[in-house]
């Protein structure tokens, strides 16, 4: 998407009646929360994200079965977003899902993997607790 934008200077491409590709730069965390112009805050948040990602890596290494796949998806998505934060000083979000005038938050592929990984872990916890209760 970044290369497409660089080639055509176009920030919005309509794929279907409900999906656009629109490049925005997210300097915060999920859904643009905690976006600051101050580099000290940005660096601090990036450091916290790196520490959380290392904890997720540890949990991934020590997990088994379907739970391991959930952690792997979260870890992979997080590494992708960390790379963007370090290289571009912001995360490029570009998937815009909408219905009429309602637009969901614009997100990227890494966010999809993080979300799917979280759903897998929640699903695992719900079934794991029911089996042992």
Give the CA distances from residue 59 to residues 67, 96, 102, 114, 118, in Å, rounded to whole numbers and listed in that order. Answer: 9, 32, 37, 15, 13
- 6 is known as an active-site residue: no
Could you say which of 37, 93, 96, 133 is catalytic?
Answer: 93
Contacts of 66 (CB under 8 A, 6+ apart): 120, 124
Could you say which of 6, 37, 96, 111 is catalytic?
Answer: 111
- 93 is known as an active-site residue: yes
Question: Which sequence positions are flagged as catalytic?
Answer: 93, 111
């Amino acid at each position: 998407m970044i290369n497409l934008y660089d080639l055509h200077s176009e920030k919005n491409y309509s794929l279907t009646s409900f999906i656009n590709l629109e490049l925005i730069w997210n300097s915060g965390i999920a859904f643009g929360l905690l976006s600051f112009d101050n580099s000290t805050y940005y660096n601090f948040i990036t450091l916290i994200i790196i520490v959380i990602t290392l904890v997720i890596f540890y949990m991934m290494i020590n997990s088994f079965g379907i739970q391991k796949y959930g952690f792997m998806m979260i870890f992979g998505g997080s590494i992708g977003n960390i790379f963007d934060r370090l290289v571009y000083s912001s995360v490029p979000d570009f998937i815009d899902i909408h219905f009429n005038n309602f637009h969901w938050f614009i997100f990227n592929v890494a966010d999809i993997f993080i979300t799917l990984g979280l759903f897998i872990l929640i699903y695992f916890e719900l079934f794991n607790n029911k089996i042992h209760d």
